[in-house]
Each structure stands twice: as C-alpha cells, then as structure tokens.
Amino acid sequence: MDITVSKKLGSLPPYLFAEIDTAKRKARQEGRNIIDLGVGDPDIPTPSFIIEKLYEAAKDPKNHRYALDQGMPEFRIAIAEWYKKRFNVDLNPEKEILPLIGSKEGIAHMPIAFLDKGDFVLVPDPGYPPYKNATILADGKPQVMPLKASHGFLPELDTINPRIADKAKLMFLNYPNNPTAAVADRSFYEKVVQFATLHNIIVCHDAAYSEVYFNGIKPMSFLEVPGAKEVGVEFHSLSKTFNMTGWRVGWVCGNEKVISALAKVKSNIDSGIFQAIQVAGIASLRDGDSVIEQNNKIYGERCQVFVEGLKNIGWKIDKPHATFYVWLKLPRKVKSSVEFCSILLERANIVATPGVGLGKYGEGYARFALTLDKEKLKEAVERMKVYLVDML
C-alpha cells in the first residue's frame, strides 16, 4: 500500500531533538563519554513529598476513572491561590483556569481553536518549535518576530508590518525565554497589551520558566499588567518548576473566552489529567516554595561554574538572567551553529543545540542546557579549553 502523509505534516521540519538524539546515540554506541547539554530536561528528581502524594492518590479507586476535562475544582483553586500569592493576580478558578496535559499540549491546540486557513500567527524566532509547527498543522501561516541581542531578545513590535499584524490572530511570547535566557519587563508587556488591543490579536504568553531565576529577582507574569486579561492567556507548567517534565501537567489561565474555546478543542481530542497527578500538583503548588529556592540555588551555582569557566578560557558570554539555558554567541570564525555543534560533539564529546534549530535568527548561537551537575560542567569547560582553542 502507498502510505502518504498530509502535505502539511510533510512540510514540518524534522523534530530537532530527534536528529541530535541520533548523533548522540551513535557517539554513545562508540563508547564515548558524552556530556549532554542538549535537551532542556531537569536532571534533579521530583521532590519526594510530591511523589508520596501521587502514590497515595493512585491507590484510591475514585482516581482511576476518567477525570473531568476541565480539571479537578481543587486543582484549579490551588492554581488560583498560587497565582494570587506569587503574582498578586486574581483568577476565577472556574472560568479563567484550565489544567493541561503539559503546557505543550495547550500551546499546540491554540491554533486549532482560533485559526482559519491562511490566518497569521506571530511567532518569536528563535523559539520553542511548537509555536510555529502547531500553526502549520492548523493551516495557519507563522510570521516570524526576530529576537535580537541588540533589543534584549524582545520582539520589536513597532517594526511589524501593520497589515500583517491586522491579519494575525495569535501572538506567542515566552519569558523568561527559551533559548535566549532573556526576561521581559513591565514596560514591554504594556506595549504588548497596547499592540494586541490595536490589532485584535490574542496573546499567548508561555511562562514555563517563571520559577527558574537567579539573584532573587522574580520574573513577572504577563497577567500582572492592566488589560492583559482582556487580550490574552498565560501558559504555566509544573515541568520546570518542580522537575516534573515526565508527569505531563500544566495549565493555561487568563481570558475566559479564550480558555473556553481551548477547552472545547481539548474536550474533542483528549480527556482530563489523571486525578492522582492533579492531587500531587496541588501539593506541589501549596508546599513547593522551598523546592523552587533549592532548584534556583543549584542552577545558579551551575551557571556560575559554566559561564565564569568559559569566560576564563576566553569566550565572550553574558550571564543569563533566568532559565537554565546558556545562549552562547559563537565566535566569528565559526561558520554555522550546526558546524559548531558537530565539532563540539566530535572533538569534545559535548552535546549542545545548534541555534538555527530553534529558528533562522538563532543562527550564530548555540544553546547549552545546564541540566547536569557542577562537576560535569567543569569537565565541559575543560574539554572546550583543550579541544576548541582554535575557534577563538
């Protein structure tokens, strides 16, 4: 039989990390000692009090049945309380919060809820691949907003063609940012609200890294800005906050109409999150403050070791503000980010993500995820000193 995929599926770029995984597997098969800083997946285990809650809740038969599509009321209340405590933002737990099977799930379903064929979506570049790819899968057209170092890796809204802005239904934003580690401030979010109001665009702010920050400076929520709830929603996840990437639990909150449209899509595609996971999620939000503190202490130390280490051996590099990523600008001599990452793997047995894999404007950079311990990061710096000296 002749099996052909749809044109739009065929038009998606290969999943970036799949290609890296293949190269890595090959290197491992050859018995090489790989330091993998490629994928943004915390190595720190989920805290035991959260696991205990899951264990307890998993034993209760009433949690074995289909969960409500809209999530347990208790989980939505815990999210509202956490939001109030953390950001001083009021949310109605019934109408303005929707639990998700990981925030990626909600992000990827947004275009289905709002796009008609050919509608535009403003996406940051470089950026998390689902913004662009979910747009393509919903027959929409991604319109790139370049993130440049010269502008603090924030999109320059006043350079967006107004005709394109008028045809855009959605705008994805993500701060603290993966991959650039940039943060956004209040004045930027205020401009976003103005811009979105003017052009009638739904803002989808991805705040997956709101709890990964250094120097005690807490990133703000988009919803803290007046008018934000009129124009958009914010995605959150327990994945990076509590080292729960495998658990698949997050939520979207904000504009009631946007959330009810997304809920309608979801109810036709998936069902509610396993209740035992929601019960564990409640515990993480109520009792997890010290986890966030400990995580950030660990990431802060790692960042110190890696960034200062690279500086000491002659690399030019800015200290990140938040997230666990280091967005390294490549020296002029290096031709491309793919070439850099292959040399890094071949010579030094280190895996990093080529910037171009996260978008055209990521060319000239490589992303290192600080998801290994300090000793490994010290070793990585040592190897770069020995094997990449000619690149500087």
Ligand X SMILES: *Cc1c(COP(=O)(O)O)cnc(C)c1O
Contacts to ligand X by CB under 6 A: 40, 102-104, 128, 174, 178, 206, 208, 237, 239-240, 245, 250
Residue 266: CA count within 13 A, CB half-sphere: 27
**Residue with Cβ nearer ligand X (102 or 362):** 102
**Residue with Cβ nearer ligand X (244 or 388):** 244
**CB of 138 vs ligand X, minimal distance in Å:** 18
Length of the chain: 392
Chain position carrying tokens 């503000």 = 321
Who's near 375: CB < 8 A, 6+ residues apart?
A: none
**Residue with Cβ nearer ligand X (292 or 384):** 292
**Residue with Cβ nearer ligand X (5 or 18):** 18
Residue type, 116: D
**Residue with Cβ nearer ligand X (63 or 177):** 177
With beta carbons less than 8 A apart as the criterion, state whether 280 and 52 touch: no
**CB of 325 vs ligand X, minimal distance in Å:** 9
DSSP line for 194-219: HHHHHHT-EEEEE-TTTT-BSTT-PP
**CB of 235 vs ligand X, minimal distance in Å:** 7
**Residue with Cβ nearer ligand X (255 or 371):** 371
**Residue with Cβ nearer ligand X (83 or 128):** 128
Cα(92)–Cα(80) distance, integer angstroms: 7
**CB of 169 vs ligand X, minimal distance in Å:** 20
Who's near 96: CB < 8 A, 6+ residues apart?
A: 229, 253, 254, 255, 256, 259
Task: Decide: helix, strand or coil at residue 120.
Answer: strand
Nearest partner of 122 among 16, 199, 184, judged by Cα: 199
**CB of 215 vs ligand X, minimal distance in Å:** 21
Instruction: Characterize the bridge pairing of strands 97-100 and 250-254.
Output: antiparallel
**CB of 109 vs ligand X, minimal distance in Å:** 12
| Tokens read off for 319 | 């200290």
**CB of 104 vs ligand X, minimal distance in Å:** 3
**Residue with Cβ nearer ligand X (114 or 172):** 172
**CB of 331 vs ligand X, minimal distance in Å:** 26
Strand segments (E) across 52-190: 97-100, 120-125, 141-146, 168-174
